[in-house]
Copies of this chain bind each other. A is one copy, B any other.
Amino acid sequence: MNRNKGVTGPKGFKAAGIAAGIKDSGAPDLALVVNEGPGQAAAGVFTTNQVKAAPVLWSQQVLKERRLRAVVLNSGGANACTGPEGFQDTHATAERVAEVLGVGAIEVAVCSTGLIGERLPMDNVLAGVDKAAQELAGTDRAGLDAATAVMTTDTRPKQVWQEHPGGWSVGGFVKGAGMLSPNMATMLSVITTDAVVDGDALDAALRRVTARTYDRLDVDGGTSTNDTVLVLASGASGVAPAPEEFESVLHAVAQDLVKQLQGDAEGVTKEVSITVNGALSEAEAVVVAKTVAEDNLVKTALFGSDPNWGRIAMAVGRAPATVDQHRLGIAINGVTLFADGHKAADRSAADLSGRDVDIVVDLNLGDGAATVLTTDLSHAYVEENSAYSS
């Protein structure tokens, strides 16, 4: 895992990140990722929110062909709840990208993130596309610029690259700091590979991988209107890996990006892993883990470094899944505090002073298991979200 490279790590990709003047601050706000081929296979997964931003509606449409030449992304505005006019803005952006690159608009995906409900300053967006196209490069710097231009409340760009000994690689970036419960959740991520993979195989691998990586991060339950993960394959390595080998590297890259999202979540002081074992099914394990992950009383206790397992028991019990309180067990950072319906070790035995907290809930009912990543609920989270309009 190499975090010094990202989308331009794999062969066949160029990128750019520039300041287009969408953000009032003058910070970078427009990124372009271009697949120069020879292949153009691509796949995407999108938010499950019923209120979908214009760029999501557009990109879902163009991805039906499982081919992409480019992705244009902006921060500084979500272009969500903006009606048909907002959709026209997205379309016009794709058209401009297509024009400057000499490709079709249907080969261009669009992603946006920022405040919901406001139109984008289209003059700035379109001029920004021209500027970004001029700066496209295959360098590490260009990949980092793209990862930087999509940031909103993110405190740092988040990217990673992994090379396979077989001569191909997978790289990607991600942004997201709040409204984070990708299900698919504004979490935007672009992954590139120079492996030879066809569109259908790419789509299948991406769906399986996102279901167990992005979809198992839950900072605040806030599945956004704009969540998007795209993967583009250039085939430029000339190597067609075995599907399970490709999926394994894709999973590793996705999981690393998700860990980076967790570590940079708004106000985070604890990086919390919640594992549920012994559920009747994997789906029930996920539901129980997410109920605990979203529980404000659990999250505030964690902020206070308080091993308050009673709140965890409360959250488990209110989850829409099968639970038997007489079989329930709870361990924090390796110390079993509750077992078979009885208090076990005294809570003081669990040390929560560090940044990493590992919670294991055992339902003792079946074989279903899942791990969900979350964070604590801190003063900084409240401060940031009561002051920042997003």
Chain B residues contacting A51 (CB-CB under 8 Å) are 313-314, 316-318, 323, 325, 328
* Complex-state Cα separation, A153 to B77, whole angstroms: 41
Contact A313 B382 (CB under 8 A): no
6 residue pairs from A and B, CB less than 8 Å apart: A50-B316, A51-B316, A83-B342, A116-B313, A117-B309, A300-B381
Contact A117 B295 (CB under 8 A): no
Pick from A202-210, A217-225, A244-252 the stretch touching chain B.
A217-225
List A residues 162-212 near B (Cβ within 8 Å): 178-179, 181, 183
Contact A323 B50 (CB under 8 A): yes
Contact A78 B310 (CB under 8 A): yes
The listed residue (B83, B324, B382) touching A382 by CB distance below 8 A is B382
A107 contacts B by Cβ under 8 Å: no
Contact B386 A315 (CB under 8 A): no
Supplied contacts A80-B310, A296-B385, A310-B390, 8 more A-B pairs, CB within 8 Å: A51-B317, A51-B328, A78-B310, A80-B313, A80-B314, A83-B342, A220-B296, A303-B386
Chain B residues contacting A225 (CB-CB under 8 Å) are 310, 313-314, 317
| Chain A residues touching B, range | 35 or more
A3 contacts B by Cβ under 8 Å: no
A82 contacts B by Cβ under 8 Å: yes
**Binary contact readout A235-267 vs B (1 if CB under 8 angstroms, 0 otherwise):** 000000000000000000000000000000000
How far is the CB of A371 from the nearest CB of chain B, in Å? Answer: 21
A341 contacts B by Cβ under 8 Å: yes
In the A-B complex, list the 3 residue pairs whose CB atoms are closest, starting with the nearest: A116-B310, A51-B317, A304-B386
A64 contacts B by Cβ under 8 Å: no
Contact B389 A314 (CB under 8 A): no
Residue of B nearest to A386 (CB): B304
Contact B389 A379 (CB under 8 A): no
* Complex-state Cα separation, A317 to B184, whole angstroms: 13
Chain B residues contacting A390 (CB-CB under 8 Å) are 297, 308, 310-311
Contact A318 B49 (CB under 8 A): yes
* Complex-state Cα separation, A326 to B54, whole angstroms: 12
* Complex-state Cα separation, A314 to B308, whole angstroms: 31
